[in-house]
Amino acid sequence: MDKKQLDKIIECFNKIIEVEKDEIYLYRIEKIEEIYSIIGKVPPVDAKDKSLEKFIMDCSKELVIEIKGKLNTDEEKYFLERLPEFAKISILDDTEKIKLLDKASPNDSFLIIESLENDAKKEEAIEKVKSEEEKSYVISIMKNDDRKIELLDTLKTEELKIDVILSMQDDDKKIKAMDKLESELYKSYVILSIKDEEKIIKALAKIEDELVRTKIISLLENDEKKINLLDKIEIEWNKTTIIESLKDDKIKLSQLDKVNDDIYRLKIILSLKNEENKILAIDKLEDEECKASVISKLKDDNIKIELLKKIQDESVKAGIISSFNSDDKKIELLNEIKDEYWKIYIITSLKKDEDKVKTLFDIKEEINRKTIILSLKSDDKKIKMLPEIKKEEDKAEVISSLEDDSKKIKELGKILEKVNKIEVILSINDETRKLNLLEEMDSDICEAYKQLIELNLGFEDLELQKERKKYDSFNLPKEMSIGIEIESEGTYKNILPNFIGKWQVKDDISLDEDGKECTSPIMHDEYKDIYEIYKITEILKKIGMHATQRCGGHVHIGADYIKTEEGFKELLELWGNAEEVYYLISNKQGELPRKGIERYAAPISTKIQKAKLDKKKKDVFLEDAKRMQHDRYSAINLMNVNNEKNTIEFRLSNGTLDGNTWIENIRLYGRTVQIAQELGQIKEKIDKGIPINEEEKRKYALKEMLKDERR
């Protein structure tokens, strides 16, 4: 063998161990095959019963022995000095391999373990490996399933045990090993790895959770076996899931009586493959809406018409008729519907504008005529039908729905009331034309809308009146995140866009029909965020929005500012001792707490004292605090901590459109969280015996004084 070939072989061996993990399989096999090719031998087939590591070590042993036999003493020395460690290890006996485990790298460690020939040597290796994961891995590659079961008790977690159990070859042994698991989920993993359905059914006896049993039964191939297991399922929804999974429609139909609720029967019927079977099953349903759900999904309109005879309720009939494929058949059946509202439901489902227009003149109620006109696709047809609408606000709604801005502007002359004009203008897509039209209208409201548009376009903000802007900073740590919800009510609320800049505008069920909530983006102590609070409150005032007795002023402070549960303990202790004071100082001077505060921002200090949260262990404190709070409608709300929002919410302030009051409340609550974090750090130092400085002593003493005052 020449030196060039030898160097190429050495290079291939080294590349096997250097390869990145995500490329490991094909690349390593390729390098093994390349070495076989160099020495003129046919590579072995990649054995399916071996792991990659075992395959590599077996091949390496064969190759190294083969190559050594072709080399002289000097060549052999050169070869062995340059081989990677795993290749040298491959030719050692098991005793020598185990001795090397103490110093082996993680990669070499796995290769060594895989190459051990018998279970006794693998057990010796268990004592040598450095981690629980490696220990689990060694047990997994042993051949004796009974010994694997015995060694399961030496593993600390079920996550490691499940890997061992899944590695067993004997399904009966897997079932026996399930007794070593508590997790129903992991038990289900074991069952799903079993191929023999009789053994799966045997293993099901070890599953207590009915939902888990249901999922496993649903995955069985044999319908008869599934049906035999139905009696072991009590919850109707779970029975439905199993029946739904049956492959044969006729067998499904035979099992419909196993569930009593029409909703569950409907679910099964809709899963049938054959439409004739669905039609046969309709009589198994009592609820007309459930019947309609089946009928509406049929393909043949004539069959649907025939089945309509089974339906008495007009609203349900209308739903079926609107599902027809043929508009002509829909129109033919319109006379069967007496209630005009449900006629409209069918008319708006017609495909052609011409057919909709033909029906329009038989409709008495203007609101229904408007609904039909709004459903038309053609702008010209909508405009042509405008004389059929008398109320100006309805005309404005139709004009606003036009696609073409030019046509909207042309029709704008038919609108006299300012509020209706504004609605049409704001529906215009071209922002420049929208701004120009607003400038022609002289009012505070129009000025506010102009500012809304400019904010959404990213224009430079208009300067606020200096005397209205009192603060330039929250005076809070830069890393503290802040959010607020500005609630208000007013006649023009529907013309507010969904977003003002990055502020989201949405409905709030606690407000009346004229109410909106403006939710800020995540803010920090930066001038632009201070400025936006002033800007948003000014805009809301200009369009006639007001903070009423129904409105709250919620402030969110990022919960990630408090680094430990000790800090959260201090926060609730501070709050419990000073809650009455917070209620007094959290609003504009002289303003009383709003009506309904006891419902939406209830005092919580008594609950805190009764729960004795200060006695709770750190690892359960937050969850116990949430259970104590019960729901989010408390003065201070911790329900969002450690979830997607991860905020501490302060809910007790009244709603306001005064920017200064908002900033003062943000300061109040932000400083409360800041002090709680500082006190938590001080308490941890005290508990650990770490000396605290004079300032820390002063702060902690003030906190204790507040507690004494409360007592």
Per-10-residue mean pLDDT for the chain, 711 residues long? 88 77 65 90 70 81 90 90 86 84 73 79 80 85 91 90 93 94 91 93 92 93 93 91 94 92 94 93 94 94 94 94 94 91 94 92 89 95 93 93 95 88 85 81 69 58 52 92 94 76 85 86 92 87 85 94 88 87 84 79 78 56 77 88 90 92 95 93 86 85 67 47
Beta strand pairing status for 553-558 and 647-650?
antiparallel
> In angstroms, rounded to a whole number, what is the distance separating the alpha carbons of residues 419 and 430?
20
> In angstroms, rounded to a whole number, what is the distance separating the alpha carbons of residues 255 and 243?
7
> In angstroms, rounded to a whole number, what is the distance separating the alpha carbons of residues 599 and 593?
12
> What residues does 649 pair with on adjacent strands?
556, 637
> In angstroms, rounded to a whole number, what is the distance separating the alpha carbons of residues 666 and 452?
24
Torsion angles phi and psi, residue 148, rounded to 5: -60, -45
> In angstroms, rounded to a whole number, what is the distance separating the alpha carbons of residues 700 and 679?
7
Please tell me the predicted confidence (pLDDT) of residue 170.
Answer: 93
Q: Please list the alpha-helical segments (H only) found in 543-658.
A: 565-585, 597-600, 605-611, 618-629
> In angstroms, rounded to a whole number, what is the distance separating the alpha carbons of residues 118 and 268?
53
Please tell me the predicted confidence (pLDDT) of residue 708.
Answer: 54
Q: Which two tokens stand for residue 46?
A: 């990649």
Type of residue numbered 142:
M
- In degrees to the nearest 10, what's the CA dihedral of 573, 574, 580, 584? -160
Beta strand pairing status for 515-519 and 503-506?
antiparallel
Please tell me the predicted confidence (pLDDT) of residue 31.
Answer: 87
Domain topology for 466-710: Creatine Kinase; Chain A, domain 2 (3.30.590)
Element (H, E) at 649: strand 647-650
> In angstroms, rounded to a whole number, what is the distance separating the alpha carbons of residues 82 and 586?
76
Q: For residue 485, give the 3-state DSSP assignment.
A: strand
- How many degrees, rounded to 5, is the angle at CA 115 between CA 112 and CA 119? 105
Element (H, E) at 505: strand 503-506
Q: Which two tokens stand for residue 529?
A: 């965020």
CA separation (Å) from 75 to 3, 61, 122, 378, 659?
Answer: 8, 18, 34, 88, 86
Please tell me the predicted confidence (pLDDT) of residue 128.
Answer: 76
How many CB atoms neighbour CB 231 within 10 A? 9
> What residues does 169 pair with on adjacent strands?
none
Residues near 210 by beta carbon (within 8 Å), at least 6 away in sequence: 233, 234, 235, 238
Q: Which two tokens stand for residue 693?
A: 């400085």
Beta strand pairing status for 636-637 and 647-650?
antiparallel
> In angstroms, rounded to a whole number, what is the distance separating the alpha carbons of residues 573 and 576?
5
How many CB atoms neighbour CB 250 within 10 A? 12
**What global pTM score does this model have?**
0.57
**650 contacts 583 by C-beta, under 8 angstroms:** no
Q: Which residue matches tokens 């001038």?
A: 527
**CA 265 centroid distance within chain:** 30
Please tell me the predicted confidence (pLDDT) of residue 617.
Answer: 52
Please tell me the predicted confidence (pLDDT) of residue 469.
Answer: 66
Q: Which two tokens stand for residue 258?
A: 């196993």
Please tell me the predicted confidence (pLDDT) of residue 459.
Answer: 46
> In angstroms, rounded to a whole number, what is the distance separating the alpha carbons of residues 703 and 705?
5
* Beta sheet of 553-558, edge-to-edge order: 499-500, 503-506, 515-519, 482-489, 553-558, 647-650, 636-637
Please tell me the predicted confidence (pLDDT) of residue 442.
Answer: 66
Name the segment(s) of the chain with CATH classification 3.30.590: 466-710
Element (H, E) at 80: helix 73-82
Per the document, the length of the chain is 711
